[in-house]
Amino acid sequence: MVAKLGGSVITDKTKNSSYRSDVTSALAEEIASSDESVVVVHGGGSFGHPLAKQYGLSADGPLQASTGVSQTRGAMYELNSLVCKTMGESRLSPYPFAPFDAVAASGPVPTSKWLRGLLKAGLTPVTFGDVTLQKGGFKVLSGDMIILELARILKPDRCVFALDVDGVYEESSRMIIPELTPSKIRRMHLPRGTDATGGIALKLDVAARAAALGTTVCFVSGYRRNEFSKALRGLDFYGTIVRA
């Protein structure tokens, strides 16, 4: 299966480069105790997003050739190192890797075999949103889009998004929507958010597309470790589930 640790969960987005080791540790412990083979993707939070925004790097904006590429990537590597250190202290054996465009460009067969080989060896592959070189310049490859690529090539039973909220809310209230379908998501009016990677609108678009491929997508609070654990294990949880 695949789990996305949201940047707003594992970092404090109100303070640049502020890592929440206690929250990450709790999530890592639940992954370790789930007995699931999990590929982990984490967001940029207060490490990558401020720099990407400062230098005009985004997932859907014009391609940029920017001096901010090195700084943004450096911040993401720093955060990835912290996440992997925490995971290693939580009975996991993390295998960090930068996407490099590998998920998008190397093709489904070699990438799938490589990742399954790591999982079979008892490792936990850990990757993250990155800045990639495309024709004409640099662009953000968001962790959410990596999730979609992993859903395509690994065809996991579940993808679990650990968010800083309990799930997806009704548009006119603060009530959690317990279940969504791809068709219902397409009819929703969604705010894009202010970060460099598309916010909840992109997450739900990814969820709809992953669900259409046969993967169940779970949106759950990363601060409720018991609910996160239930989602990992395929049990009923408090949050939002997306399936076709």
**What CATH number did the domain enclosing 211 receive?**
3.40.1160.10
User: Three-state SS for 139?
Assistant: strand
Q: How many structural domains is the chain composed of? A: 1
Angle made by CA atoms 87, 91, 94, in degrees to the nearest 5: 45
Which tokens belong to 9? 């969960």
Report residue 79 as tokens: 């955060």
Burial call 18-30: b when 16+ CB within 10 Å, e when fewer: ebbeebbbbbbbb
Burial class (CB in 10 A: 0-12, 13-18, 19+), 192: exposed
Please give the residue range of the domain that contains residue 207: 2-242
Tens digits of pLDDT across the chain (244 residues): 999 999 999 999 899 999 999 999 999 999 999 999 999 999 999 998 888 888 877 776 666 666 788 888 899 999 999 999 999 999 999 999 888 655 444 556 678 888 999 999 999 999 998 888 777 778 888 899 999 999 999 999 999 999 999 999 987 778 999 999 999 999 887 665 545 455 788 999 999 999 999 999 999 999 999 999 999 999 999 999 999 9
pTM for the model:
0.90
Instruction: Kindly state the helix (H) or strand (E) to which residue 230 belongs, with its residue range.
Output: helix 225-233
